[in-house]
Amino acid sequence: MRFSKIALVLSIAVLFCFEVSAKPRTARYYENMYKHAKKMKEKRNLVKEMYKDIIEDYAPIISNIIDEQYNYGIEKDKNSFKDYEEWIYYTAMCAGSLKLSNKSEQLKTIYTYVKTPIYMGTIAHVLALTGDKDGVLPWLNEHLREMNMMVRKGSGSISYKEEIVEGILLGMKEFKDASSFEHVFFATVPNYSEKIRKLAREVLSEITDNPAPLIITFVNAEEDFEIIKDLLDYAHKSSSSNEDKEKLYITVLDRCLGQMVENNPENMAYKPKVEQDAIFYLGEVAAKDPLAVKLIGEKWKADNKDKSGVSEDTNVKLTNIDALRKIATPEATKILLENLKFYYEAGKEGFGTGYGTKEGNKIFIAVIRALGEIGTDDEDVLMALNLIKVSDEFGAPVIHEVEKVLEKLQ
> What sign results for the dihedral spanned by CA atoms 38, 43, 44, 46?
positive
- CA angle 200/202/206 to nearest 5° reads 115
Close Cβ partners of 372 (under 8 Å, ≥ 6 residues apart): 404, 405, 408, 409
Neighbours of 110 (CB within 10 A): 21
Q: What are phi and psi of 175, to 5 degrees?
A: -90, -30
CA distance 123 to 106: 11
Q: Determine contact, residues 374/335, Cβ cutoff 8 Å.
A: no
Per-residue pLDDT, averaged over 320-338, amounts to 96
Which pLDDT belongs to residue 92?
Answer: 97
Neighbours of 82 (CB within 10 A): 14
Instruction: Please check the confidence at residue 155 and state whether its pLDDT lies above 70.
Output: no
Instruction: Please check the confidence at residue 225 and state whether its pLDDT lies above 70.
Output: yes
CA distance 234 to 212: 9
Instruction: Please check the confidence at residue 1 and state whether its pLDDT lies above 50.
Output: no
Close Cβ partners of 410 (under 8 Å, ≥ 6 residues apart): 382
- Residue of 223 and 330 predicted with greater confidence: 330
Q: Determine contact, residues 264/215, Cβ cutoff 8 Å.
A: no
- CA angle 157/158/160 to nearest 5° reads 115
CA distance 252 to 147: 26
Close Cβ partners of 176 (under 8 Å, ≥ 6 residues apart): 206, 207
Instruction: Please check the confidence at residue 304 and state whether its pLDDT lies above 80.
Output: no
Which pLDDT belongs to residue 98?
Answer: 97
Per-residue pLDDT, averaged over 372-392, amounts to 90
| Percent of the chain's residues with pLDDT above 90 | 68
Give the per-residue SS3 of the chain.
CHHHHHHHHHHHHHHHHHHHHHCCCCHHHHHHHHHCCCCHHHHHHHHHHHHHCCCHHHHHHHHHHHHHHHHHCCCCCHHHHHHHHHHHHHHHHHHHHHCCHHHHHHHHHHHCCCCCHHHHHHHHHHHHHCCCHHHHHHHHHHHHHHHHHHHHCCCCCCHHHHHHHHHHHHHHHHHCCHHHHHHHHHCCCCCCCHHHHHHHHHHHHHHCCCCHHHHHHHHHHCCCHHHHHHHHHHHHHCCCCHHHHHHHHHHHHHHHHCCCCCCCHHHHCCHHHHHHHHHHHHHHCCCCCHHHHHHHHHHHHHHHCCHHHHHHCHHHHHHHHHHHHHHCCHHHHHHHHHHHHHHHHHHHCCCCCCCCHHHHHHHHHHHHHHHHHHCCCCHHHHHHHHHHHHCCCCCHHHHHHHHHHHHHHC
Reported as a single tens digit per residue, the pLDDT across 105-128 is 999 999 999 999 999 999 999 999
Instruction: Please check the confidence at residue 150 and state whether its pLDDT lies above 90.
Output: no
Domain residue extents for the chain: 212-285, 296-410
CA distance 399 to 282: 30
CA distance 86 to 381: 78
Instruction: Please check the confidence at residue 279 and state whether its pLDDT lies above 50.
Output: yes
104: nearest Cα among 87, 83, 89, 126: 126
Instruction: Please check the confidence at residue 20 and state whether its pLDDT lies above 60.
Output: no
Report residue 75 CA to chain centroid gap: 38
